[in-house]
Homo-oligomer: A and B are copies of this chain.
Amino acid sequence: MANKEPDLWFSFVRSHRVLIREIERRLAAAGLPAYAWYDALWGVESGEDGTRRMHELADAIVIERYNLTRLVDRLEQEGLVTRARSPEDGRAAYVTITDAGRALRKRMWKIYETTVAELFLPQFDAKAQRSVSQALDRAALAARRSSQDAQ
Protein backbone atom coordinates (compact mmCIF):
# COMPACT_ATOMS: atom_id res chain seq x y z
CA MET A 1 0.00 0.00 0.00
CA ALA A 2 2.98 2.31 0.45
CA ASN A 3 6.57 2.25 -0.58
CA LYS A 4 8.24 3.32 2.67
CA GLU A 5 8.14 3.03 6.40
CA PRO A 6 4.78 4.21 7.66
CA ASP A 7 3.44 0.74 8.23
CA LEU A 8 1.58 1.94 11.25
CA TRP A 9 -0.47 4.27 9.11
CA PHE A 10 -1.43 1.57 6.67
CA SER A 11 -2.32 -0.81 9.46
CA PHE A 12 -4.43 2.00 10.81
CA VAL A 13 -6.46 2.61 7.66
CA ARG A 14 -6.75 -1.05 6.75
CA SER A 15 -7.93 -2.13 10.16
CA HIS A 16 -10.36 0.75 10.27
CA ARG A 17 -12.00 -0.28 7.04
CA VAL A 18 -12.21 -3.93 7.92
CA LEU A 19 -13.65 -3.26 11.35
CA ILE A 20 -16.23 -0.75 10.15
CA ARG A 21 -17.22 -3.14 7.43
CA GLU A 22 -17.74 -5.90 9.95
CA ILE A 23 -19.77 -3.65 12.23
CA GLU A 24 -21.94 -2.64 9.30
CA ARG A 25 -22.36 -6.26 8.35
CA ARG A 26 -23.51 -7.25 11.82
CA LEU A 27 -25.86 -4.29 12.12
CA ALA A 28 -27.41 -5.07 8.75
CA ALA A 29 -27.69 -8.75 9.69
CA ALA A 30 -29.67 -7.69 12.76
CA GLY A 31 -31.94 -5.54 10.61
CA LEU A 32 -30.56 -2.35 12.10
CA PRO A 33 -29.62 0.87 10.32
CA ALA A 34 -26.12 1.82 9.29
CA TYR A 35 -23.31 2.74 11.58
CA ALA A 36 -23.60 6.47 10.75
CA TRP A 37 -26.99 6.59 12.41
CA TYR A 38 -25.56 5.38 15.66
CA ASP A 39 -23.03 8.15 15.73
CA ALA A 40 -25.62 10.78 15.06
CA LEU A 41 -28.08 9.40 17.60
CA TRP A 42 -25.43 9.19 20.24
CA GLY A 43 -24.20 12.67 19.44
CA VAL A 44 -27.70 14.01 20.00
CA GLU A 45 -28.50 11.90 23.03
CA SER A 46 -25.29 12.82 24.82
CA GLY A 47 -26.11 16.52 24.66
CA GLU A 48 -27.89 18.42 27.44
CA ASP A 49 -31.49 17.13 27.61
CA GLY A 50 -30.78 14.96 24.60
CA THR A 51 -30.41 18.06 22.46
CA ARG A 52 -27.66 19.55 20.32
CA ARG A 53 -27.12 22.32 17.85
CA MET A 54 -26.46 21.18 14.33
CA HIS A 55 -22.98 22.54 13.91
CA GLU A 56 -21.94 21.33 17.33
CA LEU A 57 -23.15 17.88 16.40
CA ALA A 58 -21.38 17.97 13.06
CA ASP A 59 -18.20 18.83 14.84
CA ALA A 60 -18.60 16.16 17.49
CA ILE A 61 -19.16 13.29 15.11
CA VAL A 62 -16.81 14.64 12.41
CA ILE A 63 -19.22 14.90 9.53
CA GLU A 64 -19.77 17.73 7.05
CA ARG A 65 -22.64 20.06 7.79
CA TYR A 66 -24.47 19.48 4.53
CA ASN A 67 -24.37 15.78 5.12
CA LEU A 68 -25.62 16.21 8.65
CA THR A 69 -28.59 18.21 7.42
CA ARG A 70 -29.68 15.31 5.32
CA LEU A 71 -28.81 12.63 7.80
CA VAL A 72 -30.99 14.42 10.34
CA ASP A 73 -33.72 14.67 7.68
CA ARG A 74 -33.74 10.90 7.53
CA LEU A 75 -33.65 10.44 11.28
CA GLU A 76 -36.51 12.88 11.61
CA GLN A 77 -38.57 11.05 9.02
CA GLU A 78 -38.16 7.88 11.04
CA GLY A 79 -39.27 9.69 14.18
CA LEU A 80 -35.93 9.23 15.90
CA VAL A 81 -35.24 12.92 16.44
CA THR A 82 -37.11 16.20 16.27
CA ARG A 83 -35.93 19.57 15.01
CA ALA A 84 -36.51 23.04 16.40
CA ARG A 85 -35.24 26.52 15.75
CA SER A 86 -34.00 28.81 18.47
CA PRO A 87 -35.96 31.88 19.49
CA GLU A 88 -32.76 33.69 20.58
CA ASP A 89 -30.58 32.98 17.57
CA GLY A 90 -32.59 32.73 14.38
CA ARG A 91 -29.77 30.87 12.68
CA ALA A 92 -29.53 28.05 15.16
CA ALA A 93 -31.25 24.70 14.68
CA TYR A 94 -31.59 22.21 17.51
CA VAL A 95 -32.01 18.48 17.25
CA THR A 96 -33.55 16.44 20.06
CA ILE A 97 -33.65 12.68 20.36
CA THR A 98 -37.01 10.98 20.86
CA ASP A 99 -37.79 7.91 22.95
CA ALA A 100 -37.81 5.84 19.80
CA GLY A 101 -34.40 7.26 19.00
CA ARG A 102 -33.05 6.33 22.40
CA ALA A 103 -34.43 2.83 22.11
CA LEU A 104 -32.94 2.29 18.68
CA ARG A 105 -29.57 3.61 19.75
CA LYS A 106 -29.55 1.18 22.63
CA ARG A 107 -30.30 -1.75 20.39
CA MET A 108 -27.54 -0.71 18.01
CA TRP A 109 -25.14 -0.19 20.86
CA LYS A 110 -25.44 -3.80 21.96
CA ILE A 111 -24.17 -5.04 18.65
CA TYR A 112 -21.71 -2.27 18.16
CA GLU A 113 -20.14 -2.64 21.58
CA THR A 114 -19.97 -6.40 21.36
CA THR A 115 -18.13 -6.23 18.08
CA VAL A 116 -15.59 -3.71 19.30
CA ALA A 117 -15.10 -5.56 22.57
CA GLU A 118 -14.64 -8.83 20.73
CA LEU A 119 -12.40 -7.85 17.83
CA PHE A 120 -10.65 -4.63 18.65
CA LEU A 121 -10.11 -3.90 22.31
CA PRO A 122 -8.57 -7.24 23.32
CA GLN A 123 -5.62 -6.48 21.06
CA PHE A 124 -4.47 -3.82 23.52
CA ASP A 125 -3.66 -4.16 27.19
CA ALA A 126 -4.99 -1.58 29.63
CA LYS A 127 -1.86 0.53 29.58
CA ALA A 128 -1.70 0.51 25.81
CA GLN A 129 -5.36 1.46 25.55
CA ARG A 130 -4.65 4.65 27.43
CA SER A 131 -1.47 5.61 25.66
CA VAL A 132 -2.69 4.76 22.16
CA SER A 133 -5.91 6.62 22.62
CA GLN A 134 -3.95 9.65 23.79
CA ALA A 135 -1.65 9.43 20.80
CA LEU A 136 -4.63 9.23 18.45
CA ASP A 137 -6.23 12.21 20.14
CA ARG A 138 -3.03 14.18 19.65
CA ALA A 139 -3.01 13.25 15.97
CA ALA A 140 -6.63 14.34 15.60
CA LEU A 141 -5.86 17.61 17.29
CA ALA A 142 -2.87 18.19 15.05
CA ALA A 143 -4.98 17.52 11.98
CA ARG A 144 -7.73 19.86 13.11
CA ARG A 145 -5.19 22.58 13.76
CA SER A 146 -3.62 22.07 10.39
CA SER A 147 -6.90 22.40 8.54
CA GLN A 148 -7.86 25.46 10.53
CA ASP A 149 -4.53 27.12 9.87
CA ALA A 150 -5.13 26.62 6.19
CA GLN A 151 -8.56 28.19 6.62
Q: Are A7 and B139 in contact (CB under 8 A)?
A: no
Q: Are B138 and A123 in contact (CB under 8 A)?
A: yes
Pick from B8, B133, B134, B139: contact of A119, CB below 8 A: B139
Q: Which residues on B sit within 8 Å (CB–CB) of A29?
A: 150
Pick from B1, B60, B124, B134: contact of A60, CB below 8 A: B1
List chain A positions with a Cβ less than 8 A from chain B.
Answer: 1-4, 6-9, 11-22, 25, 29, 39, 42-43, 46, 60-62, 109, 113, 116-121, 123-124, 128-140, 142-144, 146-147, 150
Pairs across A and B, CB under 8 Å, 11 listed: A8-B120, A8-B124, A8-B132, A9-B120, A9-B121, A14-B137, A16-B16, A19-B143, A21-B143, A25-B147, A25-B150
